[in-house]
Amino acid sequence: MIRPATPDDIPRLIQFIFELAEYERLSHSVMLDADRLREHLFGPRPCIEALIAEADGAAVGFALFFTNYSTFQCLPGLYLEDLFVRPSYRGRGLGRALLLAVAALAVERGCGRMEWAVLDWNEPAIGFYQSLGARPLDDWTKYRLSDEALIQAAALSQH
Report the candidate in 78, 90, 79 with the shortest Cα–Cα distance to residue 20. Answer: 90
Report the candidate in 104, 116, 100, 122 with the shortest Cα–Cα distance to residue 24. Answer: 122
Give DSSP secondary structure letters for 79-103: EEEEEEE-GGGTTSSHHHHHHHHHH
Report the candidate in 95, 64, 84 with the shortest Cα–Cα distance to residue 22. Answer: 84
Q: Say which of 69, 79, 129, 143 is annotated catalytic.
A: 129
Total count of residues recorded for the chain: 159
Active-site residue flag, 89: no
Give DSSP secondary structure letters for 7-35: GGGHHHHHHHHHHHHHHTT-GGG----HH
Q: For 55, phi and psi rounded to 5 degrees? A: -150, 145
Active site residues: 129
